[in-house]
Amino acid sequence: MDANTLVVENLKVNYGNVQALKGISFSVPKGKIVSLIGANGAGKTTTLRAISGNCPSNGNVSFHGHSISNKQSYQLVGEGLIHCPEGRGIFPNLTVMENLQLGIVGRHSAKEHFQKNLQIGFELFPRLKERISQAAGTLSGGEQQMLAIARALIGEPELLLLDEPSLGLAPQVVKLIFEIVVKINKEKGVTVLLVEQNAKQALKISDYAYVLETGTISLEGKGSELLDNEDVKKIYLGEH
């Protein structure tokens, strides 16, 4: 049986009077890609933020079998729980290289592997290598997403939380980004929790997926099963 890298139990988040997460439970087995899909406002980003210690929550989250519910985000980075946030979180006035160097902040064990991981990032995204001295804010949207993912890899994630990596990108770039996510998982052995509105692409690459609807998990199953599910087709894939 697969060990679970992440187990989320009865996770609740309130923003004032609004309950954004109403007690959701799910798990991410080691070495797998698990997706959370759902419409805008469903609570996907909130889920990732609560897991990575970036938003107060109730319930329990376990990473490698021990509770991390009371840990701070920087402590979790140190343990290899790396969050690639919605909107990419790159520093526009810093160069590509400087942004990549920030990938080791809080992750001491990755410092000595920086050069090796930099090369891995450049192999996955050769376009970044050509632009190392360029201000990150002058990159295209797709290149900025590549930079955000490469920076996350510099931190040697055991679990990578990826928030909408395909948002706002052209179809060819979306295809490339999803291919890279698969590579990171299959070749580098990184466990991935992916959040996406692009349900079709996400389900195609996912071992397992959960559908989030206004703070509640309404459906779950293997990626391939959900791709064939009539409700998913109608609501999230635009097929009738």
The site for ligand ADP (CB under 6 A) is made up of 15, 18, 20, 38, 40-46
For 58-110, the DSSP string reads EEEEEETTEE-TT--HHHHHHTTEEEE-TT----TTSBHHHHHHGGGTT-GGG
Chain residues 151-170 in contact with Mg ion, contact rule CB under 5 A = none
Identify which of residues 41 and 189 has a Cβ nearer to ligand ADP in the complex.
Answer: 41
Cβ pair 40, 197 in contact under 8 A: yes
Cβ pair 160, 64 in contact under 8 A: no
The interface region with Mg ion, picked from 40-48, 57-65, 66-74, 178-186 by CB under 5 A, is 40-48
Report the distance separating Cα 203 and Cα 231, nearest Å. 14
Identify which of residues 56 and 87 has a Cβ nearer to Mg ion in the complex.
Answer: 87
Identify which of residues 45 and 57 has a Cβ nearer to ligand ADP in the complex.
Answer: 45
Partner in contact with 80, chosen from Mg ion, ligand ADP, none, beta carbon below 5 to 8 Å by kind: none
Partner in contact with 166, chosen from Mg ion, ligand ADP, none, beta carbon below 5 to 8 Å by kind: none
Identify which of residues 80 and 215 has a Cβ nearer to ligand ADP in the complex.
Answer: 215
CA dihedral sign of residues 197, 199, 202, 207: positive
Chain residues 44-63 in contact with Mg ion, contact rule CB under 5 A = 44-45
Q: Which residue has the tokens 């309950």?
A: 19
Least Å from the CB of residue 168 to Mg ion:
12
Q: Which two tokens stand for residue 221?
A: 């199953």
Partner in contact with 41, chosen from ligand ADP, Mg ion, none, beta carbon below 5 to 8 Å by kind: ligand ADP
CA dihedral sign of residues 130, 139, 147, 205: negative
